[in-house]
Structures are given as C-alpha cells and as structure tokens.
Structure 1
C-alpha cells in the first residue's frame, strides 16, 4: 500500500468563515499517484472543523445563520472567563476535524453537489490541513 501526505494552509478572513477546500483536496489526490483508496482530510485545530455539503452563496449564509442559532458568538459561556472563544470550541465539538473520502480511478469520489469545507469559528487565522492518501 502506498501512503502520500501533504500539508496545506488555509487562511480565513472573518471570525466565522466557510471556505471551500475541495479543489486543494482534488489536486492532492490527482498528484498523489493513488488510483484506488481513500483520502483523509485532517484539521489539527480545536476551533475549526470540516464538513461536506453544497457550495452556493445562499446556503453559505444559511450555514452561518445555523451556527449562530446553535451557538451564538456572544453567549454566556464559562470558558470565556479565560479565553473569548467558547462558541468556537462548542461548534467544533458538534462537527468534526476529519473527513474521509474514497479515491476511485485516481479521482476523489463525492456527490454531485458535495464540496469539502473548512468551517472557521475563531478567525481570522491561518489553518493547517493535513492530507493523507492511502491506497494503490
């Protein structure tokens, strides 16, 4: 089995930001030389997360509205007594810091409208994303 790794950096622009990273993942998969296997997308951070869904301007606003309804930025949180980012930690715990997708015939497999997103909850920041492709 072949294993290929790469680290990319994604820069957020706002405190809460939704960034499409699909093209970077696809470029990595194509360049990995792996024809069939999986790719792990891992985000080694406690205040940002990954998810997959449609990329359309209105749904992006809906994601941000959902995040605010679930965990308001200005809520009353104990963690804010030491660091003003409890909302970011709480949102990240609802989502996840990794995503695994299949690679078939050298291409990333995803649904017609499915894109891979980095959700920033404590920006703006520079975020590391670790990509690991495994297969043959």
Structure 2
C-alpha cells in the first residue's frame, strides 16, 4: 500500500515504480492494484506526456465538469465519480520472477478525478 498526492483536480500520475516496489522478490503470479476511492481510478497505459494530457482532456470531453448532475446537489463532484466509473478502480498485471510483466510501452497510471488529494493505493500479489 502507498499514498499518491496530487496537485490538480484532474491529474495522471505514473505509479509503476511504486507498484513494482510492493512486489515480493522472486514472486510469480498476479498483481492487483486497487484504488480505495470513488473519484479516482487506475489504468494501464503509456506514460507519454502528450497522452497523459490527452487522457485528462478525454475525461473532460466524456464527462464535462459543468454538466447538470443530480449528485452535485450533495457534493459538487459528480463528474469525478462518473469519470472514475469509466476508468475503473483496479487493474491486474502478471508478475514473473518478481517483476511486473508489462508490455514495452505499458505503465500503471493513477488517475485523480477530484483533487488535489492524498489517496491510498493497495497492491496485492497473489502467487
């Protein structure tokens, strides 16, 4: 488990190294990365800076922050909940000999939808 601190309302953070640090030496199995929040998500994607900005723009286009959402009567963050719903709260990555078995351009990305905040990310490896 580790924490991610964000500075922006919508922000993508590459957490691959932090996830890898949680994998036991020599482990082989499946690593599950789980975000304990309803307004943040996690995805496997390329961490190229232009694509990170595109992910943020894409989220705004799909779920505009100025939409007419019923949940906004309570918290004014319905867009963040809806974006997180589309992203998902977890990803699974194979583990081989203690290493994440990601493809060449793949990384584990934490996506903040309602920041700035400090979030908790769980990492569980099942051998």
The bucket for the TM-score relative to the shorter chain is: over 0.9
Determine which structure has more spread, i.e. the larger CA radius of gyration. 1
1:21 is matched with 15
Quick one: distance in 2 between partners of 1:125 and 1:41? 18
**1:91 aligned residue (62, 69, 83):** 83
Shift of 1:35: 2.4
Residue 45 of structure 2 aligns with which residue?
Answer: 53
TM-score, with length taken from structure 2: 0.96
String of CA shifts for 1:35-71, please: whole Å, max 9, x gaps.
2111111111000001111111111111111001100
Aligned match of 2:109: 117
Residues 1-136 of structure 1: matches in 2 within 5 Å? Answer: 7-29=1-23, 32-135=24-127
SS at match of 2:58: helix
In structure 1, list runs of 5 or more residues that go unmatched.
Answer: 1-6
Contact 2:25–2:97, Cα closer than 8 Å, also in 1: no
Question: What is the alpha-carbon distance in structure 2 between the residues aligned to residue 23 and residue 127 of structure 1?
Answer: 17
| TM-score between the two structures when normalised by the length of structure 1 | 0.90
